Structure 1
Amino acid sequence: MDKNSNLAKKDFYEYVNNEWLETAKIPSDKPVINSFTFLNDEIEKLLMSDVKKMKIGEISLDTKELQSFVDFYRLVADTDEREKLGVIPLKKRLEYIESFNSLSDLPKDLTDWVLSSYPLPFGIYVAPDMKQADTYAVSLSPAPLFLPDTTYYAEDHPNKKDLLNTFESMMTELLVLTGKSEREASNIVSNAMAFDESLVPFIRSSEESADYTKEYNPRRLEDVKNYHSDIRLDTLISGLLEETPKEVIVTEPEYFENFQQLITAETFENLKAWLLVQQTRRLGDFLTEEFRTVASRYQLALSGAEEMISSEKLHFYTATGYFDQVIGQYYAENYFGQKAKQDVEDMIHEMIQIYQNRLTNNTWLEKVTKDKAILKLNTLGIHVGFPEKIPAIYANLKTKSKADGGSLIENIMDFNRLLAKDLFKRYNTKVDRSEWEMSADMVNAYYHPQKNVIVFPAAILQAPFYDFKQTRSQNYGGIGAVIAHEISHAFDNNGAKFDEFGNMNDWWTEKDLAHFEKLTNEMIAQFDGIPFGNGQVNGTLTVSENIADAGGLSCALEAAQLEDDYNGKELFENWARVWRNKAQEQYTDLLLAVDVHGPNKLRANMQVRNFEEYHKLYNIEKQDEMYLEPEKRISIW
């Protein structure tokens, strides 16, 4: 911390993090360093070391899932075999795509096409139904764009030209590596980029997608069938589900209502080129080192990282990507203490009680809305540390060794097929509320609106978020605020649309909803347009996280004040410490466009200004930059 207390009046974030900001170095293979990534890096080093020991037998493998993980890791790490095979695995798949000369030539069995991991200009997935959250529904969504957001395609976007040029040169070189001539490769990439840009007018921006309830657009299967005369979406969906659904959730109707005009006989060559480019990108990390080096250029340009990750890290990421909960369970069982789990669970129940008191004493909610909110709070599921069991699918991911004729790509495709089948077979079955969607070794936490659960993996229960060595007030400023942040998501602008069962349901009175929307708009205005990086903050995009931050810090402060050794400065300063962050310029610009979280510095500074307690503790007065007039301070929860 900077010893100049006047800096706390000017820039609280700088006051707390000044020394760290001057000395911290962004790893060359990453675009950012912060409290989250620092802990992730430490866990990564720990687990990479353990995985090497597993590979050579120094650590015993006590589950069949862990054995399968290590078998797969050995195959991933066999770089000699990758170099020997070269681009042959990719060429076979590209040749299959190239064998189609018209729309009518596309395989009649698109079901196998999807299960075989070939790309399509749309996605099909299964997730809890927003209006019947205990049951899985099927959804249809648009394809991802080459650039990270529709806003990047605006002619005046400062990064559009450079990013597209980088993408074009990278993909051209990759296709040349597969045996295409320079001219052939250039034409394919040019046509693919034309197809990509044709999709842009019909795809929502990140800001438009921030209200995820807008994705809930049920359509009859007959309507979905009519989206395209040649691409039988109804047959494909029924084939994947192995039953015929009555309706499909269409996340972006405008895209599919224009699907027929996007894919025609005239645009088929562009579509085909797009399929070739997408297939090439998907396998970029799994072939030769030369291929991977070229394939990393666009992502490096987008993020600002100075160099691609080492092959050693890539092997670890690839293997853990398929066995994430297996390795997460190993981490939790070997490095996570039960004492910490119990202490954090106690804090969660304390936060819930604080929240219930605040709802009970709320002055602008009517009783009927209060009662529903408290019911939702008391129905909240709580998961800390690691799940009681991991999903059964991991037992089915069995690696076919090189000795048995299995290559890396073949195993990846087999895994993809098994995972896809496991996902699609969930359709119309009951949702398991206890199943985690994040592994225990992730430094993160989340709230799931359709399950109405909060989840805190083992890895986040470390300093600066949580530590036995920290004071109680420091822990409230860290994990306490994170806990209440996730609870607050149940009542942010999105979460408030779901009831205690996770169903999208209008449970507010008209008067209460109007007042809540007024407060939400005030939160949007508080952040909107603040200059940051090479752009400015989008208050609409980030409002849900800002509401959760405000509720999280407010409840953590109240809980800490009930402690005998309460120290407000320790709480606020650890809050700011949690958000310390250094990022490459390109990465900052990217997050401004697509991330629902605001810039870390503003998360630290803007929220504390809403509290009278902060103003008192640091003697913040009207002339100070951190001062905020009482009438402009926002308190929702």
Structure 2
Amino acid sequence: MKRYFTVRGGAGDVSKPDLNAKPQDNLYLAVNSEWLSKAEIPADKTSAGVNSELDQKIEDRVMKDFADIAAGKEKMPEIKDFDKAVILYKIAKDFAKRDAEKANPIQKDLQKLISLNNFNDFKQKAADLFMGPYALPFVFDVDADMKNTDVNVLHFGGPSTFLPDTTTYQTADAKQLLDTLQDQSINLLTMSGIGKSEARVYVESALAFDQKLAKVVKSTEEWSDYAAIYNPVTYADFIKKFKSFDMADFMDSILPVKPDRIIVMEPRFLNHAEELLNEGNFAEIKGWMLVKYINSVAKLLSQDFREAAFPFGQAVTGTPQLPSQIKQAYRLANGAFDEVVGIFYGQKYFGAKAKKDVEDMIQRMLKVYEERINANKWLSAETKKKAVIKLKALVLKIGYPDKIEEIFDLLQVDPKKSLYENEAAMSTVRTKYMLNKLTKPVDRSVWLMPGNLNNACYDPQRNDLTFPAGILQAPFYDINQSRGANYGGIGATIGHEVSHAFDNSGAKFDEHGNMNNWWTDKDFAEFNKRVGQMVDIFDGLQYGPAKINGKQVVGENIADLAGLACVVQTGENDGADLKDLFENYARSWMQKQRPEAIKTEVQTDVHAPQPTRVNIPVQCQNAFYDVFNVKPTDGMWLDPEERITIW
């Protein structure tokens, strides 16, 4: 039964400023309205705010470094593979060459798709296409086995649709977005040398196949149930699902070893595979692959192609302007060699003193988290014991990695070749590297995020926490700002990531990262009851032009709630100013977004929009009511029995 809350999210609309707002009525607006009233979103951005400003600060720093190194003004760093990133940057920023090349770099690969004559031809060439820069109408990946995380296994799923999410197809915007994509794709194919009438047929076929895919692939809400991707199927049973497409031959061609079983991430897609992959759908499959291909590679060609490939993305995000050429050059280099660039950033901009201080904060919070688990009134002693074991087994990754993953040694950049040729070659290397992991144990030292990223994460299959150097700076963290402000910023982030080990997905994995039920039935039933409360308190919450799907964002909201509860208690123990803590927590989620970007985010992101992540977690903290003297008549009041506690 759904719960109805007295007031959720405070009084007022967090998408609009209110200069008269008080913390007692709406903490987010009280802290951020002055900024909201003056903030302007840059023309090449979808939003402005604390996170986007920090992202820009990091990018500006490293863009200048790249420019100086490329020009010989700064010495090449003694970091393995960094020179490759600089070479790629130089190739990408040479728009005189890119403009002169026009569509020439892609002609050979484009012809591979155009020359497909029939379904039998597609079957014979599918393995070669999979290893190249193309999207096929199915996906393979290699990752740790959820029930034995020391070994890698093969995963299978469906491809992404043209629109951001399956739910987008049911919105009023769907037709306009698809019309924009259709016009853009016809234009790009025509610019590539295909006749306009032929291009139109390809695109219409592609859209027809995309509609079929949209009915069977997972929505973002479904993907948010992380454990639900684990559906082991024997090799024989998997192969039986494909009658028209020779999947056994395809897998023999691409895999280094024959697997005993496949982890099916999307059982519904597998059950409909034969309906999708057959002779009757060949024209649609071919058109779909062409549209996917041309829209993905256009950004690697001339400025004319970049501009021609912009309208659909603009319609989805509302961004008025393409990023500059020099920004694109940096982003391509950073994207290809992200870990290498992250190590450079961490070594140059992240200090040992700050790292030691952050480690101290994490250890204090882990101690408080253990205290909170042991003091929990609804967990049995048995489940508490296992939760503490998992907590103590957490591995910390702070700043940047000590070693570079092998893939970056394997990637090569040839200054004599075009940007597209280099990117296509690297794509093949990455695919081979991914598939070859089937013959190797899981490398637990691999970082999921580069050092220059403003973000953090928890990996349930490694039971580790990653805090890149990029996020370990103001306003989240500054060794010179108050302890309360640091707790409200990076402290809340630390608590959030620790809490992912115990959210609705993380709770299904043990201290080794294996999917393993370590709960009593009674405890897990009570846990799920509280998870349901988190779904209800966010479900249908209005933010700008969209309403939040409580189920889709519940894991992140649990982490926000539990993380804030932990950091508030740690702050109290540490004598921190809780007013500073709550205000910097609100400030750290400050954001202004374009309406189109809000719609897309709500459809595709497992995180609730940033402004909505402030008031509800705060409303559930008893200390907030004491610090700001909140009364039952105030907008931020939530009745005590409606304040949710999970960890």
Could you say whether these structures have the same fold, taking a TM-score greater than 0.5 normalized by the shorter chain as the test?
A: yes
- Structure 2 CA distance for aligned equivalents of residues 363 and 86 of structure 1: 67
Q: Higher mean Cα deviation, 6-15 or 101-110?
A: 101-110
Q: Which amino acid aligns with 1:135?
A: V
- 3-state SS of 1:9 partner: coil
What do the CA deviations read for 1:604-623 (whole angstroms, capped 9, x no partner)?
A: 11111111211122221111
In the alignment, structure 1 residue 140 sits paired with structure 2 residue 150: no
Structure 2: stretches of 5+ with no match in the other structure: 1-16
- Structure 1 CA distance for aligned equivalents of residues 492 and 386 of structure 2: 24
Q: Which amino acid aligns with 1:7?
A: K
What do the CA deviations read for 1:223-275 (whole angstroms, capped 9, x no partner)?
A: 22222224222333343331100001111111121111113222211111111
Match of 2:539 in 1: 528
* 1:48-87 correspondence to structure 2 within 5 Å: 48-61=63-76, 62-87=78-103
CA RMSD of aligned residues (A): 1.5
Match of 2:493 among 473, 482, 485: 482
Deviation at 1:624, TM superposition (A): 1.3
Match of 2:504 in 1: 493
In the alignment, structure 1 residue 392 sits paired with structure 2 residue 385: no
Match of 1:41 in 2: 56
Match of 2:136 in 1: 120
- Structure 2 CA distance for aligned equivalents of residues 210 and 409 of structure 1: 34
- Matched-pair contact (CA < 8 Å) for 1:221–1:246: yes
What do the CA deviations read for 1:314-354 (whole angstroms, capped 9, x no partner)?
A: 11111111111111111111111110000001111111111
* 1:250-269 correspondence to structure 2 within 5 Å: 250-269=264-283
- 3-state SS of 1:249 partner: strand
- 3-state SS of 1:283 partner: helix
Match of 1:628 in 2: 638
Q: Which amino acid aligns with 1:574?
A: N
Q: Which amino acid aligns with 1:339?
A: K
- Structure 2 CA distance for aligned equivalents of residues 497 and 369 of structure 1: 12
- 3-state SS of 2:478 partner: coil
- Matched-pair contact (CA < 8 Å) for 2:350–2:399: yes
Deviation at 1:435, TM superposition (A): 1.2
- Structure 2 CA distance for aligned equivalents of residues 265 and 135 of structure 1: 37
Match of 2:584 in 1: 574
Match of 1:25 among 40, 57, 78: 40
In the alignment, structure 1 residue 291 sits paired with structure 2 residue 336: no
- Structure 1 CA distance for aligned equivalents of residues 527 and 160 of structure 2: 33
- Structure 2 CA distance for aligned equivalents of residues 176 and 67 of structure 1: 37
Match of 2:348 in 1: 334
Number of equivalent positions: 630
In the alignment, structure 1 residue 174 sits paired with structure 2 residue 188: yes
What do the CA deviations read for 1:80-99 (whole angstroms, capped 9, x no partner)?
A: 22122211222322221121
- Structure 1 CA distance for aligned equivalents of residues 597 and 53 of structure 2: 17
Q: Higher mean Cα deviation, 107-116 or 212-221?
A: 107-116
Q: Which amino acid aligns with 1:67?
A: D
- Structure 2 CA distance for aligned equivalents of residues 257 and 10 of structure 1: 51
- Matched-pair contact (CA < 8 Å) for 1:207–1:541: yes
Q: Which amino acid aligns with 1:113?
A: L
Q: Which amino acid aligns with 1:463?
A: A
- Matched-pair contact (CA < 8 Å) for 2:123–2:245: no
Deviation at 1:107, TM superposition (A): 5.1
- Structure 2 CA distance for aligned equivalents of residues 326 and 179 of structure 1: 38
- Structure 2 CA distance for aligned equivalents of residues 266 and 453 of structure 1: 47
In the alignment, structure 1 residue 111 sits paired with structure 2 residue 122: no
- Structure 1 CA distance for aligned equivalents of residues 485 and 418 of structure 2: 50
- Matched-pair contact (CA < 8 Å) for 2:51–2:454: yes
In the superposition, relative to structure 1, how do residues 98 and 362 fare at CA in structure 2: closer, same or farther (>3 Å)? same
- Structure 2 CA distance for aligned equivalents of residues 449 and 235 of structure 1: 34
Deviation at 1:477, TM superposition (A): 0.6
Match of 1:541 among 532, 540, 552: 552
In the alignment, structure 1 residue 600 sits paired with structure 2 residue 615: no
In the alignment, structure 1 residue 242 sits paired with structure 2 residue 262: no
Q: Which amino acid aligns with 1:32?
A: S
Match of 2:324 among 303, 307, 310: 310
Q: Higher mean Cα deviation, 277-286 or 452-461?
A: 277-286
Q: Tell me the TM-score normalised to structure 2 length.
A: 0.95
In the alignment, structure 1 residue 164 sits paired with structure 2 residue 178: yes
- Structure 1 CA distance for aligned equivalents of residues 241 and 390 of structure 2: 39
Structure 1: stretches of 5+ with no match in the other structure: none
In the alignment, structure 1 residue 232 sits paired with structure 2 residue 246: yes
- Structure 2 CA distance for aligned equivalents of residues 212 and 234 of structure 1: 28
- 3-state SS of 2:124 partner: coil
- Structure 2 CA distance for aligned equivalents of residues 247 and 373 of structure 1: 31
Deviation at 1:427, TM superposition (A): 1.1
In the alignment, structure 1 residue 513 sits paired with structure 2 residue 524: yes
Q: Which amino acid aligns with 1:57?
A: G
- Structure 2 CA distance for aligned equivalents of residues 409 and 185 of structure 1: 22
Q: Which amino acid aligns with 2:538?
A: F
- Structure 1 CA distance for aligned equivalents of residues 354 and 415 of structure 2: 40
Match of 2:226 in 1: 212
Match of 1:95 in 2: 111
Match of 2:11 in 1: none
Match of 1:459 in 2: 470
- Matched-pair contact (CA < 8 Å) for 1:222–1:234: no
- Structure 2 CA distance for aligned equivalents of residues 617 and 390 of structure 1: 46
- Deviating 4+ runs (over 3 angstroms): 2-6
- Matched-pair contact (CA < 8 Å) for 2:491–2:567: yes
- Matched-pair contact (CA < 8 Å) for 1:90–1:280: no
In the alignment, structure 1 residue 8 sits paired with structure 2 residue 8: no
Q: Which amino acid aligns with 2:114?
A: E
Structure number with greater CO (CA < 8 Å, separation at least 6) is 2
Q: Which amino acid aligns with 1:175?
A: L
Deviation at 1:204, TM superposition (A): 1.6
What do the CA deviations read for 1:574-616 (whole angstroms, capped 9, x no partner)?
A: 0000000000000111111111111222211111111121112
What do the CA deviations read for 1:268-291 (whole angstroms, capped 9, x no partner)?
A: 111111111111112111111111
In the alignment, structure 1 residue 130 sits paired with structure 2 residue 146: yes
- Structure 1 CA distance for aligned equivalents of residues 18 and 140 of structure 2: 55
Match of 2:14 in 1: none
